[in-house]
Structure 1
Amino acid sequence: MSKRNFTIDDVAEAAGVARVTVSRVLNNEQNVRPETREKVRRAVEALGYSVNPQARALASGINRTILLIHSHDPDREPNSYYHSGLELGALRACSALGYDLITRAVDPANANRARLLSSFIERERPAGIVLPPPLSDDVQLLEDVKSAGVRVVAVSAGEHARSVVAGAGIDECAGGRAMGEYLLSLGHRRIGFVKGPPDHLAAALRYDGFVDALRQSGIEEEPWSASGDFTFKSGVEAAERLLQETGQVTALACANDDMAAGAMLAIHRAHLDIPGDISVMGFDDTPMSDIIWPPLTTIRQPIKDIAERVVHILVDAAFDEVAPYETLPHELIVRESTAPPKSHRHVA
């Protein structure tokens, strides 16, 4: 037999059934007799027939694309690892499930963000949308997407958003608590913290967990803190403030690795030793954290696994009946940027 691309009509003829019956079997519909289903299956195997995803999409009116929205302010440098981690994880799932991945960027501070997202939906007609923080905590935005008839899942969403849509993430509060507990276990009692953006609930939960660890150890006073925007530059600026404002901190925890790396640069510039004078700790476990000097102690957040999981949740057949929020494990990664403090060492 000469090699050619067989069609659904060829399968129907080989199985001795109607074209619509083949379609029902291929779409796994229930109203087909077992013996008929088996005849179609044998015909598909004999012909080596495979479904053309684009043709199926056109015939069914369903676009087999997933739209991943990056929360990105164009005036700031992007958190490159977080963005790429989301893309790689989502792409891994899309490839396995037969979907295409499209990425777009929306500024969370843009007053027209809902209209912009609506234009993406109208143009792309995606099968579903993945929203990372802080957009994943914009409950009104989530409701708007659902009202448009599009499936949506949230990455690292807060409690309120979890009641609206499905999603996945880590226990951010527990991750922050692990940071505090580890630094406390080394003997640190004067610890600073560089927070994330004020509108980023996941980052706020990390700080809440960190403070809770201090409270549990008997430290009632509020720790020195600064707010960054997850960028390297904001980490530099926060640490420079720290060194100007206080000489009492022996450890500095940061809400992500980029800011921790920036803080380390500022500390090096001040001719201070890490961790001899100040221990530094991050969050995420980006590839950079293992190659900067000294290598960074951090909390590993499985960003790629989270993105992969939310795509699977998005396309799950039971999506419309249940809205699960899955919590993936985080992990403390200890490296050379942290050590016990030097007793009563003045760092300013």
Structure 2
Amino acid sequence: MASSVSASDAAAARRQRPSRRRGGAPTIADVAREARCSPMTVSRVINGEGNVREKTRDQVQEAIRKLNYSPNRAARSLAGGAQLRIGLMFDNPSASYLSEFLMGALEEAGGRDIHLEVQSCDNVPDSSVLVRNLVEGGVTGFILPPPLCDDQSVLDLITDAGGIAIAVGPGRASGSHGSVMIDEFQAAYDMTKHIIGLGHERIGFIIGNPEQVASGRRLNGFRAAMEEAGLKVPGQLIAQGQFTYRSGMMAAERLLSLPTRPSAIFASNDDMAAATVAMAHRRHLDVPSDITVCGFDDTDLASSIWPELTTIRQPIRQMTACAVEMIAKISRRSGKRDQPEQVMLPYQLIRRNSDAGPSLATSYNDGRDDK
């Protein structure tokens, strides 16, 4: 059964990072910070929902008064418009990615006086039932992160109901009003070239969920960079993961147990990269002296472990905020559109402490165990 979430993970990230709009008018995130609760709780208080403890409600109202926060509800009422309702559906196993994703949507929605309905699709046999319930509840816009942006049946149901669907990340489903993404292939290619540039030749790669388009694009970027450098990619150096920490542990154990282990491992998200660092430490390997480990996404996890991860910074908050903005614009045009809008945002390769040149003690493969 689908359930709303309070975005407690997002609250933790919020306390660590400053508001995107600091210095301007106060946002819902500023109120949440002052009241020491989640932005979703602030939204519930503003909308008069009853499932908030009285003490917490008082804290939120006091924060609103102190910051002089106003969602400009009176101006919207005078304009004769109803409050826009957006549904954010998620089924992503990475808590660190989800935290960033939620915060971007919550902050943008709060600043625009948009009601954001956050719904988990975890353990939901049929996502279409959830979509129908949201539509019946007045939701007109939908944000679809991976893997929902790959589900054609969900997208078709939204468009058939007259809803606005924005995919965040590359997906195989077609017919959305728009999408926001980075160049997954090029980002993985650039990271692989960086690792090769450090002197590594035997590089392991941990794949994400094979059902997600992004996983394949990151793997293809890795393969392309290796091929361009004239380096072999034997099958044993490719380990399957699922974007979860646990799957990263299992994949890393397999790679580090090879007769000739890789001198570097590139995991296709930070959760699996962090798990690789943990597994290396468990095997008494120093990172990066004995093995280089790199990740992808640059979630809070990347800079909260030691050593901090070299990774690809995907602007997750900006991507989901952009999705909210796109829905708001299309809604003002009464859903009318000519061509789906595709927004490609820039990424960055962030170098920290988890990479280095290969150790002289590293034994390279002589070709006997390449398969």
Q: How high is the TM-score relative to the length of structure 2? A: 0.72
1:194 partnered with 2:209: no
Spell out, residue by residue over 1:244-294, the C-alpha distance to the aligned partner (whole angstroms, 9 max, x if none): 234231000001111111111111111111112110000111222123111
Match of 2:91 among 62, 71, 88: 71
Equivalence for 1:207: 219
- The separation in 2 between residues aligned to 1:257 and 1:193, in whole angstroms, is 13
- Structure 1: tracts of 5 or more residues without a match: 1-49, 73-77
Residue identity opposite 2:132 in structure 1: S
Residue identity opposite 2:242 in structure 1: D
Larger Rg: 1
Equivalence for 1:257: 270
Equivalence for 1:288: 301
1:94 partnered with 2:135: no
Match of 2:131 among 110, 113, 117: 117
- The separation in 2 between residues aligned to 1:264 and 1:63, in whole angstroms, is 46
User: Are the counterparts in 1 of residues 206 and 251 from structure 2 also a CA contact under 8 Å?
Assistant: yes
SS at match of 2:288: coil
Relative to structure 1, the CA distance from residue 56 to residue 205 in structure 2 (aligned partners, 3 Å threshold; closer, same or farther) is farther
- The separation in 2 between residues aligned to 1:305 and 1:264, in whole angstroms, is 28
User: Are the counterparts in 2 of residues 136 and 155 from structure 1 also a CA contact under 8 Å?
Assistant: yes
1:339 partnered with 2:352: no
Give the CA deviation at 1:163.
Answer: 5.5
Match of 1:302 among 315, 321, 335: 315
Spell out, residue by residue over 1:96-115, the C-alpha distance to the aligned partner (whole angstroms, 9 max, x if none): 222111100114x8552222
SS at match of 1:221: coil
User: Are the counterparts in 2 of residues 285 and 300 from structure 1 also a CA contact under 8 Å?
Assistant: yes
SS at match of 1:103: strand
1:320 partnered with 2:320: no
Relative to structure 1, the CA distance from residue 139 to residue 296 in structure 2 (aligned partners, 3 Å threshold; closer, same or farther) is same
1:103 partnered with 2:118: yes
- The separation in 2 between residues aligned to 1:246 and 1:67, in whole angstroms, is 49
- The separation in 2 between residues aligned to 1:257 and 1:199, in whole angstroms, is 18
Equivalence for 1:269: 282
Relative to structure 1, the CA distance from residue 53 to residue 214 in structure 2 (aligned partners, 3 Å threshold; closer, same or farther) is same
- The separation in 2 between residues aligned to 1:203 and 1:53, in whole angstroms, is 44
Give the CA deviation at 1:89.
Answer: 0.6
Relative to structure 1, the CA distance from residue 163 to residue 179 in structure 2 (aligned partners, 3 Å threshold; closer, same or farther) is farther
- The separation in 1 between residues aligned to 2:78 and 2:89, in whole angstroms, is 25
- The separation in 1 between residues aligned to 2:363 and 2:73, in whole angstroms, is 69
- The separation in 2 between residues aligned to 1:338 and 1:51, in whole angstroms, is 50
Structure 1 consecutive aligned stretches of length 4 or more whose deviation exceeds 3 Å: 50-57, 160-165, 220-223
Residue identity opposite 1:126 in structure 2: V
Equivalence for 1:40: none
- Size of the aligned set, in residue pairs, is 289
Equivalence for 1:20: none
User: Are the counterparts in 2 of residues 142 and 164 from structure 1 also a CA contact under 8 Å?
Assistant: yes
- The separation in 2 between residues aligned to 1:205 and 1:221, in whole angstroms, is 16
Spell out, residue by residue over 1:285-304, the C-alpha distance to the aligned partner (whole angstroms, 9 max, x if none): 12221231111110001100
Give the CA deviation at 1:53.
Answer: 7.4
Aligned residues: percent identity?
Answer: 35
- The separation in 2 between residues aligned to 1:331 and 1:283, in whole angstroms, is 10
Give the CA deviation at 1:63.
Answer: 4.8
Relative to structure 1, the CA distance from residue 198 to residue 246 in structure 2 (aligned partners, 3 Å threshold; closer, same or farther) is farther
Of residues 309-318 and 208-217 in structure 1, the stretch that sits farther from structure 2 once superposed is 309-318
Once superposed, what is the RMSD of the aligned Cα atoms? 2.3
- Structure 2: tracts of 5 or more residues without a match: 1-71, 366-371
Spell out, residue by residue over 1:69-127, the C-alpha distance to the aligned partner (whole angstroms, 9 max, x if none): 1114xxxxx422211211111112112222111100114x85522223222322x2113
Residue identity opposite 1:197 in structure 2: N
Residue identity opposite 1:259 in structure 2: M
Equivalence for 1:11: none
- The separation in 2 between residues aligned to 1:139 and 1:301, in whole angstroms, is 25
1:128 partnered with 2:141: yes
- The separation in 1 between residues aligned to 2:204 and 2:187, in whole angstroms, is 16
Relative to structure 1, the CA distance from residue 137 to residue 217 in structure 2 (aligned partners, 3 Å threshold; closer, same or farther) is same
- The separation in 2 between residues aligned to 1:288 and 1:111, in whole angstroms, is 30
Spell out, residue by residue over 1:199-257, the C-alpha distance to the aligned partner (whole angstroms, 9 max, x if none): 11112211111111111111243451112122222111111111223423100000111
Give the CA deviation at 1:149.
Answer: 0.9
Q: How high is the TM-score relative to the length of structure 1? A: 0.77
SS at match of 1:245: coil
- The separation in 1 between residues aligned to 2:364 and 2:254, in whole angstroms, is 13
1:217 partnered with 2:229: yes
Residue identity opposite 2:193 in structure 1: E
Equivalence for 1:15: none
- The separation in 1 between residues aligned to 2:74 and 2:189, in whole angstroms, is 49
